[in-house]
Structures are given as C-alpha cells and as structure tokens.
Structure 1
Amino acid sequence: MSTINYSEKIPNNVNLGEDRTLQRALEGWQPNFINWWDDVGPEGSTNHEVYLRTAVSVDPQGWAQFGHVKMRDYRWGIFLNPGDANREVHFGDHKGEKVWQDVPGEHRANLRRIIVTQGDTEPASVEQQRHLGLTAPSMYDLRNLFQINVEEGRHLWAMVYLLQKHFGRDGREEADALLQRTSGDDNNPRILGAFNEKTPDWLAFFMFTYFTDRDGKFQLAALAESAFDPLARTTKFMLTEEAHHMFVGESGVSRVIARTAQVMNELKTDDAQKIRAAGCIDLGTIQRYLNFHYSVTIDLFGADQSSNAAIFYSSGLKGRYEEGKRDDDHVLKGQTYKVLEVKDGQLVEKDVPMLNALNEVLRDDFIKDSVAGVGRWNKVLEKAGIPTRLVVPHKAFNRQIGALAGIKMSPEGRVVNDVEWAAKRDEWLPSSEDFAFVASLMGRVIEPGKFAGWIAPPVMGINRQPVDFEYVRFG
C-alpha cells in the first residue's frame, strides 16, 4: 500500500506527519473510505471535474480555495480551529478548570458516543443524496450538491481523526463501523432516524439541507463549547462549512417558491392542479414537504427530558447553543424549563429541571432559527403579491421521539383522533401522489446557464463566477 503524503494529500494542522500510530490507522482507513465513496457516493460522477471549494488551512485565505477537481481526488483535510492556551471550561461541574487536551477516563464512553453519533450523520447524508445528481435541475445546483457531499466527507474525516487519535483500538473499530452502516439499510442502518429517510427528489434535498443541516449547526455549536478541547476546536471549524449547506437549502426552496409565484401570476390562479399542469410545484405540496422535514428534524434533538443531556452538560461534554452569551450561572442546578405533554386530550406545559430539558432548550433555539428562514421564504411570496404564507407546524406535530411520540396532532397543535388523522394525513404530509408528481418534474438539466422549469435561477453564481459558468466538466 502506498503511504499518504500528509502535507499534500491531507491538508491538516494537527501534525499528521509526526504521529506514526495515527498514520498507520489512517493508512488502513483511507482506502476503505475511497471504496465507500465509490460504492455509495454520488452516482455516475467518477470522472466529473467539479468546481469545488477546498479547505487547506483555517485562516480566511486558506479555507476556501476554488478549482476544478475530481471528487474522489478531493483533499479531505483535518483541521482544528486555533487553540487558546488559557481556555477554561465555562459550564457544568468543571466550570473554571482548564479544558482537557486528552480524554478523561470517566468521560471516555460518553465522549466516544457523542463523536460516533455526530460522525455517523456525515456519510449518511451522502448516501441519502447519492442519486440526486442524475436529476439535477441545473449545472449550478449539481455543483452545490457535490460541494455538500465532499464536505460531509470531510466532516467524517474530522470525527474519524478524533476517534483514531484519542480512543485507541475502540476508536479504530468505531471509525471502521462508520463506513459499514448504510442509510436505510434493514440490517445495519444509520444511528439516527432522519438519516435513514430517503431523499427522493430535489425539493426534499433543499428541505433537508435547510432543516436537517440546521440541526447540524446547533449540534456542532453545542459541541464547540465542549471541555474536550480537540472536539470543540474541530466542530468550530466544521461550522464554517455547514453554513453553505444551509444556504443551498434556503436559497433552493426560495427559488422554487419564486418560480411557482411567477407561474401563479402568469396564469392568475392558485389552483394546485393548474400550477402542476404548468410544470411547477404548488404551494400546498411545498408546505407538506416543509411539515415533514421540519418534524423529522426536530426529533433529532432527542427526548424532551433526558438524563444523558444532563450528564453531558454537567460533565462539560456538550454545552448549550451560544453558551457564553447566556446570563445564568452555567451550572443550572435548581433551574427549570417548560416542556409539553398531553393531559386529558390537551397539550399542556409543565416545569421540569432544566438540566434534564437541555434537548428541549436546543430544539427551541433551532425552532426560532428555522422560523426566521421560513419568514424569508414568505417575503418572496409577499413581493410577488401572493397572499399564501408558509408556516412551520406545531412542535408536537408528527413526533416520533419523547413524550409526544406517536400522539396524533394537527399542524396547529390540536390533538386529533385516529379517524381525523387518517382523513387529513395527506393534507398535512406529502402523499405518494405528491412524491410521484415531484418525481415527474425531475429531468436532468446540465447545460451551463439553463434551469429546469420548476425552479428560478439564482441571483449570482459561486465565488463571483457567472451563473452560466461551467461548474462541472463531464468526463
């Protein structure tokens, strides 16, 4: 097996070339990663040269170098944000102590679990999106899909580095297992439910990158507070790339809405069937996709009451979103937080210890952020003079995790019986007919500057290139 040139093949700021044990571990893992990419990465893309952004250092000049490259030759780097020798733990029971550069024995199992769970989401989304390149609505969008794919791959490398560097044989086994699980596999699925769902079409992809990558933002931001300094510094750098994924989702849905609004105005109708007949996605279908992806994503934050969340916080393993900006004692003992439950057929709030409700705290932060983006989509409708507005459903709608799991709930937050749920389900969530219709629009458009009829062009291209730039060269 040829050895890896660590300064050229894997840009890094962790002195990979000086750690023989880590080199051997990575040399064993890297060919398996490439095999995984070839097997379940972007389908039919092996010889494409894609205009990609590559991180080669953490400074502003180095983390965004653009150029055409084959994806399997992408330089998956390993980067930690610059360290601070004086950094202290700023929450939980270890508040005020120096942060840890090595894994404390008593927190080993929990830290490994956190890193593995985060690491498992990265290859999962590549697997979920592997067929989408075959139905891209434009070359611009195809390039954005591929950029997200390689960055999810880089985030996998980041977690594998932590496992192999800090967790010995256990870490090497976990790193191997990250390539053995497969999204949606009956026998060996991905760890979290949302990452076993299909991403069948580009509207689903845009919703996924808007909502589910936003979950990634909040989870990474909470881990960026960690007392385990290598994890905090790694996730902080990952956040710089996550922003692009959410941009692809928000702007993608916005462009779908803009095109639909344009056709509604041209035809002077809001009739869903007439909009569909004109080759566009009606607003009702967009709302149902929104309902589904939002509800599946808020389940990713876990149960509303969790002893694990309390342990992770008190131990200093995982903080809250923007922990440093909060004006409480950052220990939280004796504090409470409101969570929802159903009592006598009604949704009610109850106070629980805040330490046990930290999943709910993070979920509520996510919801506030998500609602703001949906407001920006509504501005597109407002500008077009369309009175319809998109809304996020109630956070109790379509939940499969925690106290609200399995309770039949309308998008407005009203408890309903099985009969009403069955009657209204296809008004509230995408139906097989919706999926079939959206699938019927998914013809591939790859001529530079051309776009499928159901989506508007973007306002500008990537990295100041024109919209009709040759973002992908087909081999």
Structure 2
Amino acid sequence: MSTINYSEKIPNNVNLSEDRTLQRALEGWQPNFINWWDDVGPEGSTNHEVYLRTAVSVDPQGWAQFGHVKMRDYRWGIFLNPGDAERKIHFGDHLGEKAWQDVPGEHRANLRRIIVTQGDTEPASVEQQRHLGLTAPSMYDLRNLFQINVEEGRHLWAMVYLLHKHFGRDGREEAEALLQRTSGDQDNPRILGAFNEKTPDWLAFFMFTYFTDRDGKFQLSALAESAFDPLARTTKFMLTEEAHHMFVGESGVSRVLTRTAQVMNELKTDDPQKVRAAGAIDLGTIQRYLNFHYSVTIDLFGADQSSNAAIFYSSGLKGRYEEGKRTDDHILKGQTYKVLEVRDGQLVEKEVPMLNALNEVLRDDFITDSVAGVNRWNKVLEKAGIPTRLTVPHKAFNRQIGALAGIKMSPDGRVVNEAEWAAKKSEWLPTPEDFAFVASLMGRVVDPGKFAGWIAPPVMGINRQPVDFEYVRFG
C-alpha cells in the first residue's frame, strides 16, 4: 500500500484502523509527543505557517506535496515502504530464509535495543536545534531547519510504531522513555554522546546535518537490510526524507565558503582577523568546526571491534551499507579486516575477524562518502582562486570511543605527546573564542530574499520556488 491515509488521527499506510488496540495505544502516546514538541521543540514556532514537504505516498515518484502548514499541525505519521511477500534474508546465518514479519524471541532484546537507540537520536537532534530558529540567517534557512525538525519528529514516530506493535509492554515503556530523556540533560541524557552536544550556531548546524545526518544515512542503510522486514521497510522510507537533511548541511557549508571566499578576494587577504572584521567566517574556524563534528560523528559508529556488531550481522538484524552490491559470501566467517591501534607510541594496523570489525567497515564507508563532499567544498575555494583546502582529520583524531579513545593524535595522523596536544589543540578544535565570534554573527534575518552577511544565497529555492519566496509566514 503506497498511499498514505490522511483521514485518520495518525496518518499511516499500515492499516492502523484494523488493529484497534495498537491504534488506541499510539493515540495515547500522541498527546505526550505534542507536549514534548511544545516543551523542547523549535522555540517560538507555534504560530508560524511554514512551507513544508509532507509525505503523501511511499512511491518514489511524487511521494511528497508542499504547502504552508502550521508546525504544530504537521501530520506526523507511520509510513513503511511497500512489502515484498517473497523477500528473503540476504546475509548472516539465516541467509536464504524468508524475512521475518514478527520478532523472533531469541532476537527480541537486541532488536529492541537497535530500535530504541535509533529512535533516541531523532528527538535528540530536534532538542539540540531548538533555539536555532531565533538566529536564522534567512527565511529560506529557517524553513529548511523546520523541515528537518518535523521529519526527525516523524522518524521518532517510525520507531515508536515498531516498539508499540512488536514489543508489547516493554515497547510501550521504551516509547515513553524516548520522550523523557533530553539532549544534554545531566540526569537523563540521550543515549549517544554526539546527541548530547550543543548545536549553538548555524555553522555547527550545517556541520551537524552534513556529518551527523550522514551517520544517520549509513545506520539507516544498514538497518534497511534487516531480516526484520518492518524495520527494513520503515528505514528505507526514512532514507528518502534523510537526503534533504544532508543537502542542507552540504549546501549550507558551501554557501558559507562562497561568502568567505568573496570577502577574502574583495579584501585581497587570507588574514583571519581581517576576514572576521568584515563579518565573514575565516577558513581556520570552518576547519576547526569540521574537525570537531567529523570526529564526534565517527565515534557514533561504536568501538572498532565489537562482539555486538558480529551478533547483529550473523543473526540478520543489521547488514552492511549496500549489502546487496557486495560480492563476498554475506556470512563473513573466516574473513578479516584491518583496524588501527597504538603500539609503542605508533599507530599500526592489525587484522581482526571481519564480523567483529563491522562497525569499522561502516565507519570507513562513511569516511569515503564524507571526503567526497569535502572535496566538493574545496571546489568552491578552487573556483574562487583561494589556495587553502579543507581536509577531514585522521580517523584517530579526537576519538572518545574504542581502541583509539583518548589517544593524542594530530589531524594529520601523528601520535603526539600531552605537551604538543595542549599547545596545538586551539589550532585543531574550536575554541571558546571561535564559538563567541560565530555567535556574534548570528543575528536573525527573515525578510524574504535577504541573507545574513556571513552566508551566500542558495543557487535555487525549494521546490522550484524563487529564493525570495515567503517560506515562513509569521503568526
């Protein structure tokens, strides 16, 4: 069933009305969700009418419609890609068996953990971004922020549906807990570290949506391979929405670089203080923000060696990115993969069983994808005749998880001592002064077609609308 029923209280394409118990349970959760949105969702947005994309189908062609919607009236719902009754499990110990429509008892705890962890990231990013609307650099950007926020809210619904439908009382309790944890809360924080970091300004937001939403792409792609068919189908549709989030990040940083390069060329200088004095963000600050967000994000993939990763793969719960395009046996027993460790003060590679290194496999896929986008940013600088290039730091830089946690490593991959780290840290990671400077630029600009002085306008508007379209109507 590809169309979505908007006549029901909870829009869906899963025939919710045929399961009255489930429908009542989700309708009981719905007011708690709205309370959460009102409490920690986008600040001051209640009466705004925003030009939002709303899913109307899960067909890849014409799946969404655009129109002005009050944020609080957005029709969050439950949408799964069409099912295939003949779908087979295509990796792990159950290779070739029929995909599961229900949760096998022996995998119940692990599946619940996977779904809860994914579900927890969705409201967390809304909480991290809740104040950003107050400092939007344009109405166009404000609309993009709000689009991401409502879609992260819908991705929470996607996971809550699975918890309610397939995990009974445990699932209902976990669904409640997803609204009780809060990003950065000392007593009840979000599950993963990156989702407790602040997103204090729009440069951080663009880096977050480029890197951290890209982690989302890879995690969702791995779950879209799952033997548990409802999880695979819901994450496939989430990926359709996720693409826009990464576009916002990539194009946002591109536009910051375009403006910075323009100022550098106008002033004929690469002096960061002169660039800052002209109201643009210097390239050193952009590089430090990149280093921070990249290193925090690659920690999200988990420890380099993980028995859980091996169990998730072998039992069919979570595959690799683009599992179907890989040409090995999809069981991986006896295969190896290289991971890094520090031995005698040097970084060395060692071969480990591939099943235990699947977090590292996914991290390396993410790194390849991330580097391609950074190269596109460098094309902006190249085109402007600026010789500086942005780089991603070494994957052992600033790590807090796994065998590389706490190792003092330079961005170019040298193990350094405490003294050098202390001396160079302010060159490698954003400083309080960097944050204060970027914050000083964050004045709100919301007249149609006007943009803050530190960012260039986009090349085109949303859904073929002009750049100066009234994307947000303020109530």
TM-score calculated relative to the size of structure 2: 0.98
Match of 1:129 in 2: 129
Does structure 1 conserve the Cα–Cα contact (< 8 Å) formed by 2:3 and 2:58? no
Quick one: distance in 1 between partners of 2:112 and 2:36?
Answer: 22
Shift of 1:61: 5.1
Quick one: distance in 2 between partners of 1:413 and 1:4?
Answer: 50
Shift of 1:223: 0.1
Quick one: distance in 1 between partners of 2:230 and 2:468?
Answer: 41
Does structure 1 conserve the Cα–Cα contact (< 8 Å) formed by 2:2 and 2:82? no
Does structure 2 conserve the Cα–Cα contact (< 8 Å) formed by 1:7 and 1:17? no
Quick one: distance in 1 between partners of 2:380 and 2:165?
Answer: 48
- The Cα offsets for residues 418-451 of structure 1, whole Å up to 9 and x where unpaired, read as 1111110010000000000000000000000000
Shift of 1:231: 0.1
Match of 2:149 in 1: 149
Does structure 2 conserve the Cα–Cα contact (< 8 Å) formed by 1:138 and 1:449? yes
Quick one: distance in 1 between partners of 2:4 and 2:348?
Answer: 58
Quick one: distance in 2 between partners of 1:149 and 1:374?
Answer: 25
Shift of 1:86: 1.1
Does structure 2 conserve the Cα–Cα contact (< 8 Å) formed by 1:3 and 1:27? no
- The Cα offsets for residues 230-280 of structure 1, whole Å up to 9 and x where unpaired, read as 000000000001000000000000000000000000000000000000000
Match of 1:208 in 2: 208
* 3-state SS in 1 of match to 2:402: coil
Does structure 1 conserve the Cα–Cα contact (< 8 Å) formed by 2:3 and 2:56? no
Between 1:388-397 and 1:5-14, the stretch displaced more is 5-14
- The Cα offsets for residues 378-399 of structure 1, whole Å up to 9 and x where unpaired, read as 0000000000000000000000
- The reply on whether 1:103 has 2:127 as its aligned counterpart is no
Match of 1:24 in 2: 24
Does structure 2 conserve the Cα–Cα contact (< 8 Å) formed by 1:223 and 1:235? yes
Shift of 1:23: 1.1
Does structure 1 conserve the Cα–Cα contact (< 8 Å) formed by 2:4 and 2:12? no
Quick one: distance in 2 between partners of 1:9 and 1:396?
Answer: 48
Shift of 1:59: 1.6
Does structure 1 conserve the Cα–Cα contact (< 8 Å) formed by 2:209 and 2:246? yes
Shift of 1:8: 3.9
**Distance verdict in 2 for CA 1:4–1:210, change over 3 Å:** closer
Does structure 2 conserve the Cα–Cα contact (< 8 Å) formed by 1:56 and 1:77? no
Shift of 1:60: 3.7
Shift of 1:11: 2.4
Does structure 2 conserve the Cα–Cα contact (< 8 Å) formed by 1:6 and 1:16? no
**Distance verdict in 2 for CA 1:293–1:215, change over 3 Å:** same
Quick one: distance in 2 between partners of 1:230 and 1:31?
Answer: 25
* 3-state SS in 1 of match to 2:356: helix
Quick one: distance in 1 between partners of 2:446 and 2:276?
Answer: 23
**Distance verdict in 2 for CA 1:164–1:348, change over 3 Å:** same
- The Cα offsets for residues 197-233 of structure 1, whole Å up to 9 and x where unpaired, read as 0000000000000000000000000000000000000
Q: Which stretches of structure 1, 4 residues or more, deviate above 4 A after TM superposition?
A: 1-6
* 3-state SS in 1 of match to 2:249: helix
TM-score calculated relative to the size of structure 1: 0.98
Does structure 1 conserve the Cα–Cα contact (< 8 Å) formed by 2:3 and 2:57? no
Shift of 1:5: 9.2
Between 1:20-29 and 1:178-187, the stretch displaced more is 20-29
RMSD of equivalent CA atoms = 2.3
Query: Matched residue pairs, number?
Result: 475
**Distance verdict in 2 for CA 1:265–1:5, change over 3 Å:** closer
Shift of 1:62: 5.0
Gaps of 5+ in 1: none
Does structure 2 conserve the Cα–Cα contact (< 8 Å) formed by 1:320 and 1:358? yes
- The Cα offsets for residues 3-43 of structure 1, whole Å up to 9 and x where unpaired, read as 99973443211001111111111111000000000000000
- State the percentage of identical aligned residues: 93
**Distance verdict in 2 for CA 1:3–1:15, change over 3 Å:** closer
Shift of 1:456: 0.1
Shift of 1:2: 27
* 3-state SS in 2 of match to 1:408: coil
Does structure 2 conserve the Cα–Cα contact (< 8 Å) formed by 1:55 and 1:62? no
Match of 1:468 in 2: 468
Does structure 2 conserve the Cα–Cα contact (< 8 Å) formed by 1:12 and 1:57? no
Between 1:141-150 and 1:72-81, the stretch displaced more is 72-81
Does structure 1 conserve the Cα–Cα contact (< 8 Å) formed by 2:183 and 2:189? yes
Gaps of 5+ in 2: none
Does structure 1 conserve the Cα–Cα contact (< 8 Å) formed by 2:333 and 2:355? yes
**Distance verdict in 2 for CA 1:2–1:40, change over 3 Å:** farther
**Distance verdict in 2 for CA 1:461–1:3, change over 3 Å:** closer
Does structure 1 conserve the Cα–Cα contact (< 8 Å) formed by 2:5 and 2:11? no
**Distance verdict in 2 for CA 1:9–1:357, change over 3 Å:** same
Quick one: distance in 1 between partners of 2:108 and 2:9?
Answer: 31
Does structure 1 conserve the Cα–Cα contact (< 8 Å) formed by 2:4 and 2:79? no
Match of 1:192 in 2: 192
Shift of 1:79: 0.8
- The reply on whether 1:91 has 2:86 as its aligned counterpart is no
* 3-state SS in 2 of match to 1:300: helix
Does structure 1 conserve the Cα–Cα contact (< 8 Å) formed by 2:259 and 2:280? yes
